[in-house]
Amino acid sequence: MRLRRQVPVYSPITAPALRRVASQALRSTDEAEARLTERLAREYDADAVRLFGSGTQALQVALRVALRRVGESPVALPSFTCFDVGAAAVAVGARIVLYDVDPDILQPDLDSLARCLEAGARVVVATPLYGYPVNWQAIEELVSGFGAVAIEDAAQGCGARWRSRPVGSLGSISVLSFGRGKGWTGGAGGALLLRGNGSGQGVGSQSREVTRASEELRTLFLLTAQWMFGRPRVYGLPASVSWLRLGETVYRDASPPRPITRGAATCLEALSAAAARETEVRRANGAAMLAALDGRGPLQTIRPVPDAVPGFLRLPVRLPFGLAGFRDPTRATCLGIAPSYPSVLGVVPQVRARLEAGGQHWPGGEALSRTLFTAPTHSLLSAAERDELVGLLLEYRA
């Protein structure tokens, strides 16, 4: 078995951070949660912050807050995004409409979004993918004309900025995720950020529940497993275990909102500096790879919108022939080339069951589901591997 295999995405975890988590996990104080709440409010310019067990849980609460603001209406989701976005909408019983995504720039197709708003949607979820900021001004101007609310789902926005502001600070309602592949991780966790318009009303207090010991131990276990196996020299071992389904996008029902664990909050606090350093590496690698690949061969890179500084959680590229276009597909996979989401949300049975009547065709999202792949940009990618990866992409067949 070949154990060395590049991880597609990386969030730094250190042994000292694990020791801090182990020492804090079963304590009854919530000091780490309070400090994390204060930090997020300051860095993301939020009037209110609530911490949850995952980004998907935070998005469920965000949807409920938005629907209370605008009244009963369909919720507009992007046709191409993480399946967890659809799971959150299903969990709150939302009626769903899907707007298309421009496959050339990974931005909402504004004409398609306008049609959703004209059909009655008054809540819109926008999801910047792989650390590529969206043009928030264009979204806000369109949405506000209909009296609708836009939720900024910045789960993949770690380190990204738009007009000098961090992604996650742009909407009146924003969501962050601290899961395994999000750049800054607590092993799990998410945050709901609110601004203006009665921020925090009806969301509940920060200490509304107490995490169970089993949840704290699970967080420690997940972090330890990620620390042990989330490195190239051993990643091939868990990647070879089919039932783990690593690297696959699988729909899972969303769990009800729970508070973040003390272990996750402690880990996030301990790893903030390491995550910031990792962001700088990703930006440098992503920018260098983008410059080397732009306009070369049949593959298509995704250019950032004006005023955007991507966080480059991964580097998205469109490969018209999939992995078959590589001279050595196996080597490309070992270097971390991975497919993106396998389908549009509209074909996921649980989402399809809640779709409103109307348009059922999303050409942009369907094109992305066939052709979008990602390359790693993180610090575990050596200079030699980065050069080899760029070389493989430049040789991609016509």
- Asked if residue 9 is part of any domain, the answer here is no
Reported as a pLDDT band with limits 50, 70 and 90, residue 294 is confident
* C-alpha 21: how far from chain center: 24
Gap between the Cα atoms of 367 and 228, Å rounded: 36
CA distances from 258 to 57, 231, 314, 367 (A): 7, 30, 29, 36
- Asked if residue 79 is part of any domain, the answer here is yes
Supply φ then ψ for residue 349, to 5 degrees. -55, -40
CATH assignment at residue 309: 3.40.640.10
pLDDT of residue 295: 77
% of the chain residues with pLDDT over 90: 81
- Asked if residue 175 is part of any domain, the answer here is yes
pTM: 0.94
Is the pLDDT at 309 greater than 80? The verdict is: yes
Q: Which of 66-75, 151-160, 195-204, 274-283 has the lowest mean pLDDT?
A: 195-204
- Asked if residue 34 is part of any domain, the answer here is yes
More confident residue, 94 or 358: 94
pLDDT of residue 146: 97
Gap between the Cα atoms of 347 and 223, Å rounded: 33
Degrees to nearest 5, angle at CA 323 with 85 and 6: 75
Instruction: Answer whether 100's CB lies under 8 Å from 79's CB.
Output: yes
Q: Which residues are within 8 A (CB) of 250 and not within 5 positions of it... i.e. 6 or more apart?
A: 83
Write down how long the chain is.
398
Q: Domain span at residue 74?
A: 15-394
- Asked if residue 389 is part of any domain, the answer here is yes
Single out the residue of 194, 213, 158, 187 nearest to residue 49, CA to CA.
194
- Asked if residue 227 is part of any domain, the answer here is yes
Q: Provide the domain count of the chain.
A: 1
- Asked if residue 293 is part of any domain, the answer here is yes
More confident residue, 72 or 201: 72
Residue 304 carries which DSSP code? P
How many CB atoms within 10 Å of residue 200?
16
pLDDT of residue 207: 46
Q: What average pLDDT is seen over the chain?
A: 92
Q: What is the β-pairing status of strands 165-166 and 300-301?
A: unpaired
Instruction: Answer whether 180's CB lies under 8 Å from 313's CB.
Output: no
Single out the residue of 203, 190, 207 nearest to residue 268, CA to CA.
190
pLDDT of residue 202: 56
Report, as an integer, the average pLDDT of 235-247: 66
CA distances from 392 to 32, 284, 292 (A): 44, 19, 12
Give tens-digit pLDDT for 38-77.
999 999 999 999 999 999 999 999 999 999 999 999 999 9
pLDDT of residue 211: 65
- Asked if residue 130 is part of any domain, the answer here is yes
